[in-house]
């Protein structure tokens, strides 16, 4: 449906314009932070596999005057079968009324894997990761990093943009960017800029709870305004064999404030 146009340098510039109190860290310190948060993200990824939740995804298209035209919506529960197998059960899927755009396999990959972006130890080798500085995001002290894939392989989707990592829990609390990947020659796919917000669940893990995109896609046939939202709700632990151990000794500290949703 979309194609990447926003450059990596522009994404970094957007972060720099809003950044204050930039820390000067050594390369060794930055590498250590990246390795530690990637390890925490891997632990979170395993933990999320033990949770059920509801996902509500909506896409709307608009005409040049801002009038709503068509709509696509799917509500699905991520659950476990009686045999313990994780599966997806569609709760509601009205007949799509989109007139000007269609969802492609790349869009489905982005909905499942790119928008709730997780940067784990196994994934960091695939990306250039550049430290942008220390920021306070809705009262949460964070490290900001620009992320860009080093090499793209056909059939794979990647994240390109900025992630904010809580400086205490060392987990991603927000991401901003686009899904990118190799496309067939002559393809007119376009992909929107999106923001994904996370919240702390069960006092340990930062789970994606809301993704929003409000963008204009520049197709060969002309610009097309769209709006997308994905909500992840009602997280419930099914089983757990994963424990996150924090490095900070001493008494427990109160949980940080949650990022504000748009």
Site of tokens 């996150």: 244
Site of tokens 């979170």: 44
Distance CA 23, CA 65 (A): 44
Q: Where are the domains of the chain?
A: 8-233
Q: What local confidence, expressed as pLDDT, does residue 8 receive?
A: 39
Q: What local confidence, expressed as pLDDT, does residue 258 receive?
A: 54
Tens-digit pLDDT string for the chain (262 aa): 543 333 334 444 444 444 434 458 999 999 999 999 999 999 999 999 999 999 999 999 999 999 999 999 999 999 998 878 889 999 999 999 999 999 999 999 999 999 999 999 999 999 999 999 999 999 999 999 999 999 999 999 999 999 999 999 999 999 999 999 999 888 899 999 999 999 999 888 999 999 999 999 999 999 999 999 999 999 999 864 444 444 444 444 444 555 555 4
Q: Which residues pair with 85 in a beta bridge?
A: none
Distance CA 214, CA 199 (A): 21
What's the token pair of residue 218? 């520049």
Provide φ and ψ at 26, rounded to 5°: -75, 160
Looking at the chain, the number of H-run helices and the number of E-run strands are: 3, 10
What's the token pair of residue 235? 């997280």
Distance CA 226, CA 71 (A): 10
Q: Please state, as a whole number, how many other Cβ atoms lie within 10 Å of the Cβ of residue 247.
A: 7
Distance CA 178, CA 188 (A): 16
Cβ atoms of residues 127 and 119 within 8 Å? yes
Q: What local confidence, expressed as pLDDT, does residue 243 receive?
A: 46
- Burial label for 162, CB within 10 Å (0-12, 13-18, 19+), is buried
């Amino acid at each position: 449906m979309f194609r990447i146009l926003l450059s990596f340098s522009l994404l970094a510039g957007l972060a720099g314009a809003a950044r204050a109190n930039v820390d000067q860290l050594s390369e060794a310190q930055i590498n250590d932070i990246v390795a530690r948060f990637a390890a925490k993200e891997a632990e979170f990824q395993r933990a999320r596999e033990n949770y059920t939740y509801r996902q509500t995804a909506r896409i709307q298209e608009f005409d040049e005057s801002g009038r709503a035209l068509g709509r696509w919506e799917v509500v699905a529960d991520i659950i476990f079968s009686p045999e313990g197998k994780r599966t997806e059960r569609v709760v509601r899927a009205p007949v799509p009324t989109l007139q000007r755009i269609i969802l492609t396999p790349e869009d489905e990959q982005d909905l499942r894997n790119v928008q709730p972006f997780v940067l784990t130890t196994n994934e960091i080798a695939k990306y250039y990761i550049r430290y942008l500085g220390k920021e306070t995001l809705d009262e949460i002290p964070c490290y900001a990093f620009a992320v860009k894939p080093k090499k793209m392989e056909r059939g794979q989707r990647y994240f390109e943009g900025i992630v904010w990592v809580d400086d205490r829990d060392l987990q991603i609390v927000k991401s901003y960017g686009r899904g990118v990947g190799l496309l067939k020659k002559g393809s007119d796919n376009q992909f929107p800029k999106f923001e994904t917000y996370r919240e702390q669940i069960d006092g340990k893990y930062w789970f994606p709870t809301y993704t929003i995109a409000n963008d204009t896609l520049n197709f060969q046939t002309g610009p097309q305004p769209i709006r997308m939202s994905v909500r992840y709700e009602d997280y419930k632990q099914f089983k757990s064999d994963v424990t996150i151990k924090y490095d900070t000794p001493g008494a427990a500290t109160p949980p940080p404030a949650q990022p504000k949703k748009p």
